[in-house]
């Protein structure tokens, strides 16, 4: 297998594999903008910078991206029970590097993983990985963000529509290990807000050989021949909208991920780490708004990996892949790099006024409800492109008994469901007796963010 990386799977916003403590310290140094002394300077072309300006306050994107609970799960499978195949020495160092960097980015470790806060070596068994995935499912609330990173071997399944991820206690093969579709099957049960398509609930990054096979998505290609059209291609597994996927390689039968020779780390992971740190301005360049989209990140990684190949720093070419539907998804945010509003305009606010003694509950599609208790003005962030229904229900609070034994109850006063697209077109309206106004992110001044209603967790069993 040489020094290629057959499979790396992760849910998050940054990854990387490092092989020595020196490399880890150097790469994760936030103030390091100089060229690492063991890599050629041609890998680090200068990037255009802009006159960055303060973001108008309150910063709605910061509320959505940063003021949420964030959890990480880092998994590394570089050694195997019985010693076959041979161990990948850089995997464990990669796990430590990625876990450290995610911790710096504000991602907490899972409650079940503390010392160490990741799975690697003999602890990365199939059952242990599945238990950790279930743990991620249980800790995530609808507004939270989960990141899972896996590094190890990966093998396409026999039908080439799935990927088998290696585990410590099973052979590496198409019918062994943990299937990526099984990972999706566990995580798709996680509840999330459905009215904001730009901000993911879970991020999966696969830094591995053949990883692009899981990022083809369901699609068709239409071929025109002799004035006749026909469907010539139908692709792949369905990835839930709440899950965003980045892969180190394109789809195909011979697509590999490689180690960055001089750095002794994953090439894909190395540059991914830089994009989220000292190379932010290089990656967030299509629209320097401080919002890094999946497409911007993918373009940056494609350019850097091509440079690495041209400079003989990786054994073969690498072309990362993303799903077409996820190009405009926000992968990370830094208000320090705000020069234009850009993608910020894709998020708007549904503003409403709750009367004294009343509570207004708002639900989008079949998602969980938000609640606004009066007297207060509340704003709910929504994607410009949201197409589903929105339901407002207005309640009055009945008093409990004078001894305080019986809690106050709610009486439904009025309930109404309307099309959000119609409300967006009108910019204002009256729904269930509640005055509603659509506001841009820039004009979202003085509003009180609605707190989500707590939802019961699904049963692990």
Write out pLDDT tens, residues 97-140.
888 888 888 889 999 998 999 999 999 999 999 999 999 999 98
Nearest-Å Rg of the Cα atoms of the chain is 24
The confidence score (pLDDT) of residue 175 equals: 82
Please count the other Cβ atoms lying within 10 Å of the Cβ belonging to residue 234.
9
Q: Span 173-178, mean pLDDT?
A: 85
Q: What is the pTM of this model?
A: 0.78
Determine which of 88-92, 114-118, 181-185, 424-428 has the lowest per-residue pLDDT on average. Answer: 88-92
- C-alpha 414/C-alpha 233 separation (Å) is 49
Residue 407 pLDDT > 60, yes or no?
A: no
Q: What is the pLDDT of residues 89-99, one digit of tens each?
A: 778 877 888 88
Q: What confidence tier does 308 reach under pLDDT thresholds 50, 70, 90?
A: very high
Q: Structural domains in the chain?
A: 7-340 (3.40.50.1460), 346-452 (2.60.40)
Kindly report the average pLDDT of the chain as a whole number. 77
* Listed residue (99, 70, 276) closest to 268, CA to CA: 276
Contact, 201 vs 192, CB < 8 A?
Answer: yes
Q: What is the pLDDT of residues 5-51, one digit of tens each?
A: 322 223 333 222 222 222 222 233 333 334 565 889 999 998 888 89
Q: What confidence tier does 272 reach under pLDDT thresholds 50, 70, 90?
A: confident
Please count the other Cβ atoms lying within 10 Å of the Cβ belonging to residue 211.
35
The confidence score (pLDDT) of residue 254 equals: 58
**Percentage, residues of the chain above pLDDT 70:** 77
Residue 332 pLDDT > 70, yes or no?
A: yes
Determine which of 3-7, 120-124, 358-362, 400-404 has the lowest per-residue pLDDT on average. Answer: 3-7
Q: Span 68-88, mean pLDDT?
A: 84
Q: What confidence tier does 394 reach under pLDDT thresholds 50, 70, 90?
A: very high
- 301 or 325, greater pLDDT: 301
């Amino acid at each position: 297998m040489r020094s290629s990386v057959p499979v790396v799977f992760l849910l998050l916003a940054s990854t990387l594999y490092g092989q020595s403590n020196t490399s880890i310290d150097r790469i994760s140094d936030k103030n390091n903008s100089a060229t690492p002394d063991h890599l050629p300077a041609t890998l680090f072309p200068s990037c255009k910078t802009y006159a960055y300006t303060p973001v108008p306050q309150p910063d709605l994107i910061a509320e959505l991206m940063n003021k949420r609970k964030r959890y990480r799960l880092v998994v590394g499978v570089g050694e195997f029970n019985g010693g076959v195949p041979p161990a990948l020495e850089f995997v464990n160092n990669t796990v430590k590097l990625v876990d450290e960097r995610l911790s710096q980015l504000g991602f907490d470790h899972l409650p079940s993983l503390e010392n160490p806060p990741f799975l690697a070596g003999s602890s990365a068994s199939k059952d242990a990985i599945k238990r950790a995935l279930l743990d991620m499912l249980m800790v995530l609330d609808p507004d939270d963000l989960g990141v899972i990173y896996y590094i190890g071997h990966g093998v396409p399944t026999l039908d080439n529509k799935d990927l088998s991820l290696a585990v410590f206690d099973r052979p590496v093969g198409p019918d062994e290990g943990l299937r990526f579709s099984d990972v999706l099957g566990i995580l798709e049960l996680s509840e999330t807000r459905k009215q904001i398509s730009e901000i993911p609930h879970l991020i999966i990054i696969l830094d591995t050989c053949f990883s692009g096979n899981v990022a083809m998505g369901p699609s068709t290609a239409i071929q025109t021949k002799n004035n006749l059209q026909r469907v010539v291609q139908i692709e792949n597994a369905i990835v839930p909208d709440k899950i965003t996927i980045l892969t180190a390689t394109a789809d195909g039968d011979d697509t590999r991920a490689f180690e960055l020779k001089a750095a002794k780390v994953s090439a894909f992971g190395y540059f991914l780490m830089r994009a989220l740190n000292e190379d932010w301005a290089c990656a967030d360049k299509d629209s320097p708004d401080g919002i890094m989209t999946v497409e911007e990140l993918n373009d940056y990684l494609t350019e850097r990996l091509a440079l690495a190949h041209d400079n003989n720093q990786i054994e073969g070419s690498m072309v990362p892949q993303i799903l077409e539907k996820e190009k405009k998804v926000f992968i990370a945010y830094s208000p320090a790099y705000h020069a234009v509003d850009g993608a910020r305009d894709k998020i708007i606010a549904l503003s409403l006024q709750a009367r004294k003694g009343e509570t207004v509950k708002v639900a989008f599609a079949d998602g969980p409800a938000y609640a606004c208790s009066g007297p207060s003005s509340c704003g709910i962030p929504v994607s410009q492109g949201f197409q589903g229904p929105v339901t407002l229900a207005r309640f009055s609070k009945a008093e409990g008994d004078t001894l305080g034994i019986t809690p106050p109850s709610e009486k439904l006063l009025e309930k109404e469901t309307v099309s959000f697209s119609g409300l967006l077109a009108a910019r204002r309206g009256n729904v269930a007796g509640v005055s509603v106004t659509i506001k841009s992110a820039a004009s979202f001044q003085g509003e009180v963010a609605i707190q989500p209603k707590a939802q019961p967790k699904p049963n692990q069993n």
